Structure 1
């Protein structure tokens, strides 16, 4: 019987983390849409809206989305720069 070469059960940590960062970047628009619709859901029927509170919330949500995007972009950029490093070639195997 010929022996089959066994593939590793898990992928390298670096490539796994890169994939999860990319997945997180792809989910940000959906998170943003949810955060922007959320103020419509929290006002009970029959009450008036507090537009000042809603405006503050929307700007805070916008700031959080910008911060998350900057963080993910910086980590992806750093990971891309590490890919050019020959010392990290062992992770690619």
Structure 2
């Protein structure tokens, strides 16, 4: 006996929930990339390049950290909502 084929399209709520979970996973990668940017800043005064202060790098890292927390909190809050409470257009049957 053959199984019923899987539906071609997912329901809107399930699709959005999966994309938000994907966004949370990619947020980790984005955070690592953003935290590595200060490693590319010039810091050798003998090379003649303008150097950046360590305090500026620390402010940048703290800002990225705070932004990642805020974004992940918003996404986590949206994932905790029940699926039936979408704020978008309602489907009329």
TM-score (norm 2): 0.69
Alpha-carbon shift at residue 16 of structure 1 (Å): 1.0
Unaligned runs of 5+ in 1: 86-90
Number of matched pairs: 79
Matched residue, 1:82: 83
Please say if residues 27 and 68 of structure 2, whose CA atoms lie closer than 8 Å, have aligned partners that are also in contact. yes
Q: Which runs of 5+ in 2 are unaligned?
A: 86-90
Q: Which has the higher contact order (CA 8 A, sep 6+)?
A: 1
TM-score of the superposed pair, with normalisation by structure 1: 0.69
C-alpha separation between the residues in 1 aligned to 2:68 and 2:41? 20
**Moved >6 Å (runs of 4+):** none
Q: State the superposition RMSD in angstroms.
A: 2.6
